[in-house]
Amino acid sequence: MTSGAEAVDAAIKIARKWAFFVKGIRDGSAHILTATACYHGVTLSTVSMASKKAEHFSTYLPNVGSTAPSGTVVRYGEIDDLRKAFTEDGPRIAAFMIEPIQGSAGIVVPPAGYIKEVAELCKEHNVLFIADEIQTGFGRTGTNLCHQHDGVKADLVVLGKALSGGLYPMSGVMGPSRVMDIISPFEIGTTMANNPPGCAAALAALDVLVDEKLADRADRLGKLLLERLRSYDLPYVVEFSGRGLFLAMVIEAKPPKVTGRRIAALLAQRGVLVSSNTAGTRIRICPPLTISEEDLMRGADVVAAVFAEIEDVGDIPGEAVEDGFVTSRT
């Protein structure tokens, strides 16, 4: 496929067909369970899976999302929620889809051992374990795929972004033939899917990932970056979160001057690209895995300078998101 959301959509289709033929769930009643605060894209199926839905898009896709059929809400990182959902509704649940570390939520790492327990519970209840590795895959967190940190294997893995070095639209779903063979090639695909330049870019990116040991690099550089950032004793930062080169600074925002967006905007002015979550409390740092150690440390120094100055700086272009159309009409 070409976008991450399309690949997630394909994973849902595979899981539903698997649920019908293998698990014997009646057509139209299989549920695809997700976790709160997840992000899997913005197509109709993927936005429907989010706990916080965007409005104005009419009816959503049924039988998907972080609320199980009997009403249990599955909070990210809370294994007891998942256990309860499976106990109540296991026979109706086709798959549990999860980001091994939640990216768009602000690089939220689940408690140690959580992903392993997820895999075990899925197995116990004959539910497919789908790892959405679109953001965490390809070495980003220090292993080729993030859920490998927990020594488990997902039944389906959804890939995108870095699959083609982030340069060419390319995404996909992979899994063992016992699951993948359920779908026919004609049930998934678009005109531009699996196009030759995209496949060539993906093969080249995979070679670089392996040849240049990018996962090890992310692990090593991530530790160095964290050490450097901690050494500044940055004001407003209450916690660091993440793994490898997938890190977040959790800040105690003090609006109007100290907000994630203002910090991100000032950093952008100075050549360091980070992003803030909508609440402005988590600032995500995801440098390229090929960044030089020197550039990484230089970037960290810029972060320290920005934190020191943020309260004294005036208006910064890009510090606020204008949502004019929606607000002016409501």
Ligand X SMILES: Cc1ncc(COP(=O)(O)O)c(C=O)c1O
Q: By the criterion CB under 6 A, which residues form the site for ligand X?
A: 3-5, 8, 39-41, 99, 103-104, 132, 134-135, 160
- Closer CB to ligand X, residue 135 or residue 164? 135
- Closer CB to ligand X, residue 89 or residue 132? 132
Q: How far is the CB of 158 from ligand X (least distance, A)?
A: 7
- Closer CB to ligand X, residue 152 or residue 266? 152
| Residues 159 and 7: beta-carbon distance below 8 Å | yes
Q: How far is the CB of 41 from ligand X (least distance, A)?
A: 4
| Residues 56 and 44: beta-carbon distance below 8 Å | no
Name the residue whose CB lies closest to ligand X: 4
| Residues 170 and 2: beta-carbon distance below 8 Å | yes
Q: How far is the CB of 136 from ligand X (least distance, A)?
A: 7
Q: Regarding beta strands 64-65 and 31-33, do their DSSP bridges make them parallel or antiparallel, or are they unpaired?
A: parallel
Residue with tokens 């100075």: 270
Query: How far is it, in rounded angstroms, from Cα 94 to Cα 30?
Result: 6
Q: How far is the CB of 161 from ligand X (least distance, A)?
A: 6
Q: Looking at residue 74, what DSSP letter applies?
A: -
Q: How far is the CB of 121 from ligand X (least distance, A)?
A: 21
- Closer CB to ligand X, residue 75 or residue 213? 75
| Residues 215 and 144: beta-carbon distance below 8 Å | yes
- Closer CB to ligand X, residue 15 or residue 300? 15
Query: How far is it, in rounded angstroms, from Cα 74 to Cα 65?
Result: 9
Residue 286's nearest CA partner among 269, 267, 304, 305 is: 267
